[in-house]
Amino acid sequence: MDHLTHINPPTLSDSLAVGYSQVVVAEPGKMVFVAGQVGWDTNSEMVGDASFCTQARKAIGNVRIALEEAGATGNDVTLVKYFVVGLTEERIGELIAALGEAKIFDHERPPTGTLVGVEKLAREQLLIEIEVIAVIPD
């Protein structure tokens, strides 16, 4: 992670308290762009009970798989975008819990992030989609 510098200016809100950094500076390296991942298995079928929590866990797992295939880990992620259908405080809590369980990002040096409430995603049953950008050292 020496190729990434995390900056959290004291004059901005305390983003670390809610799991993201205000700024991440990436040194030269290879950029990895991971397409939005959802709660589907390899056959594009919904896993488990299709609840928001189950979908969030699977989407995070799919992000991990995609990163690993590119030679990256969650610690190389510079930006994560969450798209959530029917965004509520409860869903935010479930997402935070799923991220905590997965331990995909370093709690001390998390990536920058954006959480967006959306009306719907590509398929009716989808409730969350996660997209990331990572930088791995040369």
Each residue's pLDDT tens digit, 12-68? 999 988 889 999 999 889 999 999 999 999 999 999 999 999 999 999 999 999 999
Dig out the tokens for 57 from the structure: 């866990």
H or E element at residue 6: strand 4-7
Residue with tokens 């798989």: 65
- CA–CA dist 135, 30 (Å, integer): 5
| Ramachandran quadrant class, 116 (left: phi over 0; alpha: psi -120 to 50; beta: rest) | beta
pTM of the complete model: 0.90
Domain 4-137 CATH superfamily: RutC-like (3.30.1330.40)
Summarised one tens digit per residue, pLDDT across range 53-106 is 999 999 999 999 999 999 999 999 999 999 999 999 999 999 999 999 999 999
Orientation of helix 52-69 relative to helix 89-102, angle to 10°: 40
